[in-house]
Amino acid sequence: MAISESKMEYLKLLAKTYKSEDETAAEIINLLSIQNLPKGTDYFMSDIHAEYEAFSHILRNASGTIKRRIDEVFTELDEDDRRTLATIVYYPEEKLEILLEGMKDRNDFYRTTLFRLIKLLAVSTFKFTRSYVRKRIPGKFTYIVEELLYSNPAEDSYGSVSHKEYIINSIIETGCAEELICTLAHLISYISVFRLHIIGDVYDRGPAGEKVIEELMKYNNVDIQWGNHDILWMGAAAGNRACITNVVRNCTKYDNIHTLEVAYGISLRKLETFALKYYGKIERPMTRASAIMQFKLEGQLIQKHKNYEMDSLLLLHTIDFKKGTVKINGKEYKLNTDYFPTIDPDDPYRLTDEEERVMQSLEKEFAESKILQEHVRYLFNKGSFYKVYNGNLMFHGCIPLTPEGEFDPINTEDGYKCGKEWFDYAERLIRTGYFGKGGRDKQRGIDLFWYLWCGFKSPMFGKERITTFERLFVDDPETHVEKKNPYYSLYDRPDIIEKILEEFGADKENGIIINGHMPVKKGSSPIHAGGRLIVIDGGFAKAYQKTTGIAGYTLVQNSNGFLLSAHQPFTSKERAVAEELDIETRPVKNEPAANRIRNKDTDEGRVRQKEIENLKLLLEAYKTGLIK
């Protein structure tokens, strides 16, 4: 057997892990068995917008999969019993408290519930090896759960009582039944989600972005394609002042100061004092104060980076303070207020001395928030602009295109970039902005966070211009229109989709594009180009549900193919527990695979196959004496 010198060095390193023929052969057999199993279930979610309770419920019910599984497995139960069982799986601690209240003889309930949960777990884990399942069983119940899962149901070791019944009776006698019920319920929810894909916008609008991040951190297999709201928070954590003021304005506007002050320990005291001093006579003074600072700081960035080509957002110097008007795109509009006490008409983009002190305080607070910085590092570790996965392409917003369908070039300080090159360039630069130790590129990266939040060729924003100023100060609705990138009028064309897939190295013939960002309006379809592109804005943000009429979409891919589901709005955890209300899920599109998808057919399977081939070489090296 001829083996190159470099390959032999690798095999010697591999031999430190697999130290004999037997160990190597056993691992080959293990990996081959995994390859032949049906692929695990992938869940695609987008635009969570800090709505933790709704997001958590979707995770707990595995986007409706667990209830469908209960309906299929427990056909002998009526709908009420199946709904109760589902609620126990989603919220075991809370539901048990309600069910057990006043129940004198609980043993029959414990016994029945444990048997049902073990049966449901067995169905939920059939795609996985025992080793995979064992590693996910928490704490002291590992071997007990394994015994209940894998023992022969016909076994009769204890006279008239089966082996499983004996174990469950022992669990009840020792007072561990409730704890085991909760353990099994959490395990069923957790193991039902093999991989979780978040297609952007964890933050803003809702009250608990930090809880969403903490929930994601519990899962091993997660990837995140950043959205514009994520980039905004990442930029704020990196020290971009314009991003900081945008974050603060959003939090104060949507009554979400709790996230900043309680969850992240960011004090707004200096801002509040300043805002009450200058804007105390109007509603939401902190929102107004942070907005004015935002427009000034954004103006400074636009003037600094002419290549951003965003001069249309420079509006402060066009205000006629005597007439109470502003010029937008050369046209004069009436302002709805003449109260701008902190803007100097002669130098409108300069922060006042007091504003400068407020900004210095906020910068320090964001930089020194350990939990925020930990969460942002998690977003960097798990995230990217886009991801190619099993031949499909995932990103949050859009691919900047010209009206003719060509990749639109962006003018950067390093030359024009477009398509995949633009995505890769921008990601490298913001990573330098956050992790870099100093220098020109670090500052360029910090500045770029803001452009990616709202720049007209940002792949995360996807609009010609952001109209925050107009929505605040101009009542004329024609100024509020945010023209979308041509991508959104071209993505019904299969040739455009194929062109994009090919550009990013995805499967041009069979792959699909999955993105979010744009809520799907009533009467519109989330499916485009004959199924080659799917928009899965989750619609979690309550502010958008008036437009959509539903709570958006989630996408599931299991070994049988894709399933796109529409969801009704989530009410509350309390009602879900007490009234056994689930998120109503309606399948929109079921795209079955031609053949059942095995692990060997996936990206991870192809990597595993290379590992198998290397182990086979190592086994041969052992047998021939090349490695002792």
pLDDT digits (tens, 9 = 90+) for 448-503: 999 999 998 999 999 999 999 999 999 999 999 999 999 999 999 999 999 999 99
Residue keyed to tokens 């003018």: 411
Reduced 3-state DSSP string for 161-194: ECHHHHHHHHHHHCCCHHHHHHHHHHHHHHHCCC
Structure-token pair, residue 474: 């101009």
Q: Taking residues 73-79, what's their average pLDDT? A: 94
- pLDDT tens-digit map of 247-298: 999 999 988 899 999 999 999 999 999 999 999 999 999 999 999 999 999 9
pLDDT in tens, 5-27: 888 889 999 999 999 999 999 99
Please report which confidence band the pLDDT of residue 550 belongs to, taking 50, 70 and 90 as the band edges. Answer: very low
The answer, yes or no, to whether residue 155 has pLDDT greater than 60, is no
Per-residue pLDDT of 204-233, as tens digits, reads: 888 899 999 999 998 889 999 999 999 999
3-state secondary structure 446-509: HHHHHHHHHCCCCCCCCECCCCHHHHHHECCHHHHCCCECCHHHHCCCHHHHHHHHHHCCCCCC
Residue pLDDT, tens place only, 459-471: 999 999 999 999 9
* Pairing relationship of beta strands 392-395 and 513-515 according to DSSP bridges: parallel
Q: Over 60: is that where the pLDDT of 545 sits? A: no
Provide the mean pLDDT of the chain.
Answer: 90
Instruction: Say yes or no to pLDDT of 524 above 80.
Output: no
Report whether pLDDT(563) > 90: no
Helix, strand, or coil (residue 534) = strand
Distance between CA atoms of residues 202 and 212, nearest Å: 7
Greatest mean pLDDT range, 368-372, 437-441, 618-622: 368-372
Nearest residue to 379 (alpha-carbon basis) of 254, 238, 570, 507: 238
> Does position 159 have pLDDT exceeding 60, yes or no?
no
Q: Look at residue 130 in the predicted model and tell me its pLDDT.
A: 85
**Type of residue numbered 287:** T
- Could you tell me what percentage of the chain is helix, strand and coil, using 3-state DSSP and rounding each to the nearest 5? 55, 10, 35
| The model scores a pTM over 0.95 | no
| pLDDT per position as a tens digit, 286-343 | 999 999 999 999 999 999 999 999 999 999 999 999 999 999 999 999 999 999 999 9
Question: Among positive and negative, which fits the CA dihedral 429, 259, 46, 243?
Answer: negative
% residues pLDDT > 90 (the chain): 70
Coil vs helix vs strand at 550: coil
Cβ neighbourhood burial of 38 (10 Å; 0-12, 13-18, 19+): middle
The pLDDT of residue 152: 65
